[in-house]
A and B are shown apart, each in its own frame.
Chain A
Amino acid sequence: MAIDGLIILDANGRPIIQSGYTSFPPAYPLLHIDALNNELAKAPSSGIIDPVVYVSSGGGGDMPDCSACCHIQVREIRMLASISGDMDPLVAFAFLQAFHDILQDYFGTVSTVTLKGNFDTVYQLIEEILDSSGHPLTTSSSILRDIVLPPSLLSTLLASLPASSSSVGRSAGPISLNSTGGAFASPIPWRKIGLRHKSNEILFDVTEEMRAIVGRNGATLASNVIGTIECNSRLSAGMPDLLVSFSNPNVMAECAFHPCVRLQRWKRERILSFIPPDGKFVLEEYQYAPPQKAVVNNLPIPVSLKPNITIGELGGNFMVTFTSRMTKSMENVKIEWYLGEDATGAQCTLSGAGSGVGSTGGAEGSWTFDSRKKTLRWEIPTMHSLGSRILRGSWTSKAQVPRPAHAFQIRFELPSHSFSSVRIDQVRLSSELYKMYKGVRVQSCGSIEWRW
C-alpha cells in the first residue's frame, strides 16, 4: 500500500533517474519501464495511452503479483510511479504532480538536459520527498529548500572550476554542517522564517479556462469555466498576514485552497485570509458559477466554426470557417483535426473573410499536417475582433472509407479577459508595517471541442 518507486524516462523510454526500489528485486523497475514502453509502442498515432498501465509480474521472485504503473508526461520526458496492492492511484498522481512542481521550482524547466545536469540534486530531492517505505515525506518546497539547496549561479560556477583549485571554492561553498540550523525551524511548514526581500510585492495571476463541447448543430452541449489564482509573493519578515477580498466572490464555486488559507474565514465572510508561502504558489482554484442558474451548462462560446466536410473514397474535401465572436483580439488560436489512422497527407489554402481587419499576408496563420499524429493543425497567431478565417483543402487516406475524428479541437488565448469577471477588490497586509506592491493580472484561455 505505497508508492514502490519513482522513475524518470527520457524521450526514448530509457531511464534517467530511478529511486531506490530497495525492497524489490532489481527486475521490478525494469518490468515497469518495459510495460510502459510496450504500451507506448502499441499506442494509436495520437500517442494517447492509458495513464494507469497494469503490470503483471507473472509471479516471479518476491515481486508483487500485480502492480500498476501510473505515469504523467512532461514535455518529452515521462515520470512514472509504480504502485502495488490496492492503493488509490490518485495518491500516485497527486504525488507525481507534486514532484513535478518541485522539480520545476528547482530547475525552472523540467527536461532531459536539466535533469541530467542536476541529477545529484534530483536524487537528494527524491530521498527527502519519498521515504524508502514508499510514503511521501514532505512536498513543501519551503522545507525542501532548507534541506536540499537548489542549484545557483554560484554553485554552477564552482562546479565548473577545476578541482585542483578547489580549496578556495569549497570554503565559500553553500552548505556545510553548520548551516543546517535553519532547517525545520519554521513553525508553519509552508514558510521559512526570517525572509528578506529588497522590494516587497505580491502578484496575483488569475487564469480562467473555458472547456466546452459544441454539438454538430452548433448548440453548446457542455461548458465549464475553471479558474486558478496563482500568487507570487515576495514579502519580507516572519509572518505577513494577508487579507484578500473580492468584489464578487459568489461567482466562485467549488473552491479549493492552498493549505495556508483559513477555511472558516472564507466560509463565513468569503475573504481569503492567509500567511503566504514565499515565491509562486496556487492560492485558489474555483469553478465559475454564473449568477443566472440557467446558463450553468450553456455559457456563450466566444468562437464559432462552420465545417463543411465531404468524405469520399481515399480521402475527402473540407472547408472550415472560423469566426471570433469576441470584441477583443484573440491570440494563439490553434485548431486541430485528427484525420484518422490511415490519413497520408493534406493540402490546404487559407483565406481571410468578413471584416478583413488586418488580413495582411501571414496574419491568416499557417497550417501543417503532422504525419506522425495524423493531425491537421491550423494556427492563427492573432485574430482581431469579430474576424473570420477560412481553411479550404483536401486530404488523402489509404483507407477506402476514411474515418476522421468527428470533432475539431479549438484552443485560444484571451489576454486580459475573464469569463467570470471575478475581481480582487482589496489586498490588506496586517501584522507587518512595510508597504508592498500589489499587482493583479487576468487572462483566459479556452479549449473547445467542436463536433460536426
Chain B
Amino acid sequence: MDSVNLAALTENAARLGMRIQETLHEHTRDLSIARGGASLFDMPDDKNIGRQLEFGSDRERLEAMKRLIALTSKGRNMSNYFPQVVKNVASQDLEIRKLVYIYLLRYAEHEPDLALLSINAFQKDLTDPSPLIRAMALRVLSGIKVPMIAHIVVLAIKKCAADLSPHVRKAAALAIPKAHRLDSSQQPTLITIIQSLLQDHSALSIGSAVVAFESVCPTRLDLLHQQYRRLCRMLVDVDEWGQVNLLNLLLRYARTMLPKPTITRDAGSEAEELDKDLQLLQSSAEPLFQSRNPAVVLAVVRVFYYTGSPSSLCKVVNPLLRIQLNSNETERVVLPYISAVAFEYPHLFSPHYARFLICTNDPRQVKRDKIKILLKLCTSENHQALLREFIDYADDPDDLVVGDAIHAVGQCAQRVPTCARQCISALLAMIKNTITSNAIVVLKLLVQNQLHESSLDRGLRSQDPLKIITQLAHRIDDIKHPRARACVIWLTGQYCPSGAGTVIDGIADWAPDVLRKAAKSFIAEKSVVKMQIVTLAAKLFVLCPTDHTLELLCRYVFSLGKYDLSYEVRDRTRMLTSLLSSVLPSIDGAQPETSIGEGVVLRREQVKKVLFEGKAGTADNTALSGHDYLIGTLSLVIGKDMHSDTFLPEWLEAGIDPALRDNKDTSTPPAPRSISSLSASRPAGTTGTTPVVLTPSDSTPTHNAREAWRDLDRFYASDNEQSESESTDEHGHESGKENEDSNSDEDDGDDDGEESGSKGGDEAEEWNSSQEADSLIHEHHQEVYNTGARTV
C-alpha cells in the first residue's frame, strides 16, 4: 500500500515539477534568458561569462562555468578565460570547484604561470578533513602539467601515500606516473613510495599501485618478492579494474621468477609438477572466472593459458565461451583469442563447435573469424556438419565471407581426406555462380592433391579428377574471373597428356581447343591469364611437336606474348622460347644459329620434364597460419602489429629462490580480510603495515562502533570483533584459542570473515611449514649448483 502511495506521490511531484519548469521557461523566454541544461549547452560565447565568473553570485559563477565547459566540449578554445577561472579555485561550492578543476586540467599547460596561482589552494586542500577533497586536490595537482611543480607534487604524493583513507592512497598511487612524467629524476623517491603502497593492507589502492609500478619501474620485479604471496591472496578483493592490472603483473612475475612447470611422462601417465607459488596464483585467480567483467575473466584466462599445465588448460574453455555471449562487441574481441587458443589446442573447443555457427547479423569480421575457428575445429567426427555449414555460408550476402567459406570447403577436404569428393562436388556446384567463381582456385588445389594421391596408390579414382578438368575445360567460356580462367588454363596444360588413341598423339582431345579459344581472346585477357596461355602453348607443343596446326597456334601466341605490354608476359615468353629452342628452332623467324649457339640447349624430354614435373599440389595454409601475438592484445584482435613493447617473458628453467618470497610480516597471521568475503582475513590493526594483533572479542566498546565506520580499516577491525562476538557455537570456542594454531577450518573465507581469526592461525601454520620446505629446496639447489660447478 505504502509503495503505491509513494509512487503516486512521486509521479504527482514529477508532474508538478514539469509544470513549474514549463511555466518558468515561458516566463524566462520573454526575458530571452533560457536556462535549462540543454539550452546552456547551446548558448554562444559572450562577454557575460567573464563578468559572471568574477563578480557573479555562486549561481551565476556555476552557470558561467557550465557554459565554459559546454563550449570547450564543442571544440572551442576557451583558454582566454583562464585568469577569471583560477580565481574560483577555492570556491566554497563543490560543484563550481569540480568544474574549475575540469577546466584547469584542460588548459593548465597553455598558461603555466597562471596555473601556479592555484597551487596554494590545492596544497591547503591536501589537509582538508574530507578524504574526498584531499583525493581530488591531489588528482588535480598532479594533472597540471607544469614541470616547475614536480617537486611539490612528489611531496604531496608522499604525504597522501601515508594517508589514513585508502581512497586518498589510491589517488596518490595514480599520481605517481604523472609525477614521473613531469620529472623523471624523481624516480628513486617514487619507487620507495610505490614500495610502501604495494604493502598496503587495503585492497582498494592495490590496483592503482600496480598501475604506478607498471609505468614507473616495470622491470623492477624484484620489488615484488616479498609481496607476491600477499598480492595473490588479496586478488579477489581488489576492484575489477585493479584485478586486471594485478593479474597481468602477477603473470609477468610468475613467468620471470618462478620455475617452469615440468611434465614428466612415464608409461602413459603424466605427472605434472607445479611450483607452490604458481599454484597459489592459480588457485587465487580461479574464482575470478566468475566475475561479470569480461576483462577480468580474460586476464584470468591469460594466467591459466600462459602458466598452466596442459591439464589445467581446459579451465579456460567455458569462461571464454561465456564471455563470448556477453555482447556483440565482446564476441568480436574474444573470437580472435579463441582462435589463437584453438590453433594450439583444437581439441579443447571441438566439442563446442556449435557456439561458432554464423548468424546473418554478425559483423563481417565476426563471420570470418568464426569460419577460421570452425576450420580449426574440424575433425573426422564433426566434418560432415561443418562442411554443410561452409557450403551454406557460400550463400552469404557478403562476398568476402563467401570467399572464406569456399576456402574453408577446400581446407576441409585437406584435413579430412575422406570427404574430398563431397567437397569437389560442392565446389563444382558453386562455379555456376559468378560470385563464387573463385571456387575454381580452391578446386585446382583439391584436384591436384587427388591426382597426386591417386598416382601414388595407382587407384582407379584417377579418372575422376581428370573428368572434372575436362568439364572445366569445356566451360572455359563461362568462366570470367581472371584468376579462375588462369587456373583452368593451367589445369588444362598440366593434365592434358594422355595415352595414344586421340586425334593428336599424346594430347587429350579437349586441350587444343582451349588453346584455340584462348589464343583468339589473348589480347583482351589480363596478364595472369596471358602468362598461362603462353605456358599452355609451350606444353602442348612439347607434347606433340609434329602437329602443324599446333605449331602455328603456338608461334602465334608466342609472337603476341613477345610484344605484350606487360613485362611479365614478355619475360615468360622469352623464357619459354629459349627453353623450346631445340623443339621449335626458328621461333624468332630470323638467325636461328645464334639463338641455338649460345647457352645450353635442352632436348625435348628434358624440356618436358621442366615444364610438367614438380608441380605437386601445395597445401593452402593461408587460413590456418598462426601468428605469435599474445591473447589479450589489440594486435591479435586487429591482426596488425601495434608496435608495442608488451611481450611475454620466457620461463626461467629453475626460477629464483623461493625463500626470497618469504615475508616476515606475512608469515605471522597475515593478510587483508576480504571485502567480498571470499578469501578471508583482514588486518585488525588500525593502519598500514604493522603485524596484526588479533583483538579479543570484547575489547571494543560498542558505543563507538558507528564512529569507527568513518574509517575503513577501523571498520573492518570492529567488524571482526562484532562478528566474532556474534558468531555462535561453531566459531565461539575457536575465537578463544585462535592464537594456538589449533584450528583446522578449511573454509577459505566465508560469510563475513567471521573466521578471520581462526583463519589467520591456520595460515600461519601453513606458512611456517612452507617456509621449511622452501629452505630445504633452497639447500638442495645449492648442492646441485656446487656439484655442477665441480664437474665443470
Contact = CB atoms under 8 A, between A and B. Distances in A.
Given A66-B640, A183-B132, A405-B397, A153 B13 contact: yes
Interface stretch (A170-178, A312-320, A348-356): A170-178
A116 B359 CA distance: 36
B291 interface: yes
Contact of A120 (B21, B69, B244): B69
A162 B26 CA distance: 12
Contacts of B634: 52, 68, 83, 85-89
Interface stretch (B418-426, B544-552, B745-753): B745-753
A263 B676 contact: yes
Interface stretch (B326-334, B657-665, B773-781): B326-334
B105 A338 contact: no
Contacts of B178: 132-133
Interface residues of B, number: 142
B568 interface: no
A89 B333 contact: yes
A50 B365 contact: yes
B749 A1 contact: no
Contacts of B747: 264, 268
B58 A166 contact: yes
Interface in A187-241: 187-189, 193, 198-199, 201, 211, 213, 215-216, 221-222, 224, 226, 238, 241
B99 interface: yes
B105 A403 contact: no
Nearest to B643: A65
A262 B677 contact: yes
Contacts of A257: 290-292
Interface in A111-170: 113, 116-120, 123-124, 127, 131-133, 135-140, 146-149, 151, 153, 156-157, 159-163, 166-167, 169-170
A198 B13 contact: no
A127 B98 contact: yes
A31 interface: no
A127 B101 contact: yes
Contacts of A260: 676
A140 to B, nearest CB: 8
Nearest to A228: B292
Interface in B739-766: 747-752
Interface residues of A, number: 129
Interface in B232-249: 236, 239-241, 244-245
B24 A160 contact: yes
B334 A124 contact: no
B49 interface: no
A123 to B, nearest CB: 6
Given A157-B21, A170-B58, A175-B94, A86 B635 contact: yes
Most buried by A among B66, B177, B354, B715: B354
Nearest to B97: A177
Contact of A123 (B3, B99, B245, B751): B99
A169 B63 CA distance: 14
Contacts of A404: 397
Would you call the interface of chain B mostly helix, strand, loop, or mixed? helix
B678 A91 contact: no
Nearest to B174: A131
A403 B397 contact: yes
Interface stretch (B28-36, B252-260, B483-491, B533-541): B28-36
B167 interface: yes
Contact of B751 (A95, A262, A338): A262
Given A90-B334, A135-B241, A157-B20, A120 B66 contact: yes
Contact of A160 (B3, B35, B99, B167): B35
A259 interface: yes
A370 to B, nearest CB: 14
Contacts, number: 350
Contacts of B3: 199, 201, 437
B165 interface: yes
A87 to B, nearest CB: 6
A170 B73 contact: no
Interface in A34-62: 44, 46, 48-52, 54
A243 B678 CA distance: 15
A116 B132 contact: no
Contact of B99 (A44, A95, A120, A211): A120
A94 B295 contact: yes
Contacts of B362: 48
Interface in B74-96: 74-75, 92-95
B63 A163 contact: yes
A221 B357 contact: yes
Contacts of A161: 24, 35
A409 B361 contact: yes
Given A136-B241, A221-B357, A265-B750, A123 B102 contact: yes
B113 interface: no
Given A183-B131, A256-B322, A407-B360, A176 B59 contact: no
Given A117-B38, A157-B21, A213-B359, A123 B642 contact: no
B133 A177 contact: yes
Nearest to B101: A127
B327 to A, nearest CB: 7
Contacts of A137: 170, 174
A445 interface: no
Contact of A138 (B33, B40, B145, B239): B239
Contacts of A88: 244, 295, 298-299, 333, 632-634
Contact of B294 (A16, A84, A90): A90
Contacts of B677: 262
B642 A117 contact: no
A263 B678 contact: yes
Nearest to B356: A222
A70 B333 CA distance: 10
A163 B49 CA distance: 13
A224 to B, nearest CB: 7
A262 B676 contact: yes
Interface string B57-70: 11110010110011
Contacts of A216: 392
21 contacts: A22-B106, A22-B143, A49-B363, A50-B365, A83-B634, A89-B333, A90-B298, A91-B241, A91-B244, A95-B241, A127-B102, A131-B174, A136-B241, A160-B24, A160-B36, A193-B709, A222-B354, A264-B287, A297-B354, A409-B359, A449-B359
Interface of B: 2-3, 6, 13-14, 17, 20-21, 24-25, 28, 31, 33, 35-38, 40-42, 56-60, 63, 65-66, 69-70, 73-75, 92-95, 98-99, 101-102, 105-106, 109, 129-133, 135, 139, 143, 145, 165, 167, 170, 174, 177-178, 204, 208, 211, 214-215, 236, 239-241, 244-245, 287, 290-299, 318-319, 321-323, 325, 327-330, 332-334, 354-355, 357, 359-365, 385, 388-389, 392, 395-398, 433, 435, 630, 632-635, 637-638, 640, 642-644, 646, 675-678, 709-710, 712, 715-716, 719, 747-752
